[in-house]
Every structure is written in C-alpha cells, then in structure tokens.
Amino acid sequence: MKAVQIVAPSDMKVVEIERPELHAGEVLVKIAYVGFCGSDLNTYLGRNPMVKLPVIPGHEVGAVVEDIGPDVPEGFSKGMYVTVNPYTNCGKCASCRNGRVNACEHNETLGVQRNGVMCEYAVLPWTKIIPAGNISPRDCALIEPMSVGFHAVSRAQVIDNDVVVVIGCGMVGMGAVVRASLRGATVIAVDLDDEKLALAHRTGATYVINSKTEDVRERVRQLTDGLGADVVIEAVGSPVTYVMAVDVVSFTGRVVCIGYAKSEVAFQTKYFVQKELDIRGSRNALPADFRAVIHYLQSGNCPIEEFISAVVAPEEAQQAMEQWAANPGKVFRILVKF
C-alpha cells in the first residue's frame, strides 16, 4: 500500500509498504485524510530530536472502519467515521498510575517515536479508535490538534470569570481559544499574524493583540484594569513567548505551557515567587478532550473551511511541506488525502 515517508531532512517521498494484518482486539481503518502538524514540519526540517529517520509521519487522522477483529466490543461497525488517539501509555509509570495517561513517561506518539499512519490502511487497538458520529473523515483530521488546546484549558481549570490570554493562534492555540470561550471566559488572543487573529476573534476571542505591533504587557493591563490575566496559555514554544506568559499573568495566576521551546529560557524567577504562580505543563490530550472537540464540531459553529489551508495528494506532500517551511505563519493545517 501507499505511504508517505520522511527519508531524510528535506526529503519526503511516496513509498510502498505492506498492508497491516488484523488481529484480535484490533480495528482495521481505511485512512481518508491525515494532517501535517508542527512536529512533522520539524521532522522534515531535521529539527525533531525525538524522531529517528526514516519515519512515516501522521497522527491527525480521519478514517473509515474497514474491518473489525475478534474480541472487539460492540460499538464499532464497518463504514463508521472515526479518528484516532495516537498516543500510547504503559500503565505502570507515575502518570499512568495517577490516571493522566496522556503524559505517560514512555509514550510513543504515531509519527514521532514510532511510524505514523500517513498511509492507506492502519490497524490499531480498538481502545485507540474514537467514533466521530456524522463528522466527515476530512474534518475528523482536525480533532486531535484541537483536543491538545482543549486539554490545556482543562489543565488551567478555566472558569467563566477568568481572563485567559492565549499566546499563539495556530491550530492548537485556536483549540484553546475555542475551549476557553465555551467555558465562558474572556479570551485575549495574541499572535503575529492579523489573519489568524481575525479568525481567533471569530472563534471566540473577545480581544486580539498583534505582538509585532503592540506592547502585549501594556495592552493586557489595559484590558484587565491593571491586574493581568488569570490564565495564560503558551502555545508557541519560544523563549520570548515563555517569558511573555510569566510577564502578563496576574498575581496568583496560572500559566499553562504547551509549546516546546527549542532553546533554554531565561526567567526572572522572582516573579514565580512574588506572584505565587501555578506553572503547569500540558501534554497531548485525554479521551474526554477528544469527545469535547467532537461535540464542538457537531455544533456547526466551527469555521472548518478556514482551518484547512490545503488538501493535497500523497505525491504532492513534499511540495506542500516546502511551501509550509517557507511561510510557516500562514498555514493552519495541510491535509493529505488518500
């Protein structure tokens, strides 16, 4: 069967691999759409230390159930639209024992620590198959990245009288904007790109700040009567935005970090103490986050067409990735259609 493989930095090609065999407790899915995410871009550019090349990318999935193995419980049927939980969990580490399986110490995400599913068919344990109701396979490919943003809002324990600053309006940050606004919070979206900020406003942000042209700290103070934000969600992964998050959060506020900074970050740690901050990491997502995104997409309020930057064939994947690398700020999601 056909698969897309990153062979070496800046080298991606279509290869032939064996179609997987179905075993007990597993579900065979026909892949319809797979999204490229930021980790795939870093892998393509040779900047992802967690990946050993060559690798098949892909963990943002829209698929259709093709066949069901023995010992799979009721609830799955051929032709069902599904997405995939792409993370593994060992069941033994501290995270798993505490019920936070999304942060398993030994997690292997599809397309990162193990081959992904940017291919025609995949076999997965039934526990990793998530029914998506009437959401089309194309739109199912948006569920996983949005769920990561939804999870960050849960980590922040956002409530309706919070002011939430979301730094970074890519696909994950947009998920955080949506979820925080659904919880009734006042959301302030921060990004460098006016088009992304306009979309963030349409998806629930009350205010937007262009950090290229505005003083973010001063603007947040103006919008919060000088108090700062109750919650700041960092969804970029830059030393500048990490420092910004600590700077604009209120005394006794919560900072939730999603992005991986590629270099060391220098903090004035006195602010951690003086403000008595809660600084929390947020990794991947839980099944409840996937279900919440599915519920949101089914509401019909999501501007799905604006989230999909391009749909390409496997043979066009290399060109699409080159274009994304050349202009990363203008892309939400590129979907590969099988």
pLDDT for residue 206? 98
Model confidence at 22, pLDDT cuts 50, 70, 90, reads: very high
pLDDT in tens, 224-242: 999 999 999 999 999 999 9
Model confidence at 106, pLDDT cuts 50, 70, 90, reads: very high
> Cα(139)–Cα(300) distance, rounded to whole angstroms?
12
Rounded to the nearest integer, the mean pLDDT of the chain is 97
Question: What burial class does residue 238 get, using C-beta atoms within 10 Å of its C-beta: 0-12 exposed, 13-18 middle, 19+ buried?
Answer: middle
149-281 maps to which CATH number?
3.40.50.720
User: For the residues 60-66, what does the mean pLDDT come to?
Assistant: 98
- Structural tokens at position 328: 């990363």
> Cα(283)–Cα(260) distance, rounded to whole angstroms?
10
Helix intervals (H) in the chain: 38-44, 94-97, 137-140, 143-156, 171-182, 194-202, 216-223, 239-248, 270-274, 287-298, 304-307, 317-326
* Comma-separated ranges of CATH 3.40.50.720 domains in the chain: 149-281
pLDDT for residue 185? 98
pLDDT for residue 107? 97
pLDDT for residue 328? 85
User: For the residues 104-119, what does the mean pLDDT come to?
Assistant: 97
DSSP notation for 110-127: BTTTB----BSEEEEEGG
pLDDT in tens, 258-278: 998 888 999 999 999 999 999
Question: What burial class does residue 305 get, using C-beta atoms within 10 Å of its C-beta: 0-12 exposed, 13-18 middle, 19+ buried?
Answer: exposed
Say what percent of the chain tops pLDDT 90: 96
Q: Is the peptide bond before 125 cis (omega within 30 degrees of 0)?
A: no
pLDDT for residue 330? 85
pLDDT for residue 40? 94
Q: Is the pLDDT of residue 329 over 90?
A: no
pLDDT for residue 308? 97
- Structural tokens at position 292: 């919440």
User: For the residues 87-103, what does the mean pLDDT come to?
Assistant: 97
pLDDT for residue 261? 87
pLDDT in tens, 161-189: 999 999 999 999 999 999 999 999 999 99
Model confidence at 135, pLDDT cuts 50, 70, 90, reads: very high
Q: Is the pLDDT of residue 58 over 90?
A: yes
CA distances from 80 to 133, 142, 182, 237, 290 (A): 8, 17, 28, 36, 17
User: Which amino acid appears at position 263 of this protein?
Assistant: S
2-141+303-337 maps to which CATH number?
3.90.180.10
Q: What sign has the CA pseudo-torsion 174, 278, 98, 50?
A: positive
Say what percent of the chain tops pLDDT 70: 100
* Comma-separated ranges of CATH 3.90.180.10 domains in the chain: 2-141+303-337
DSSP class of residue 55 equals B
- Structural tokens at position 290: 């996937």
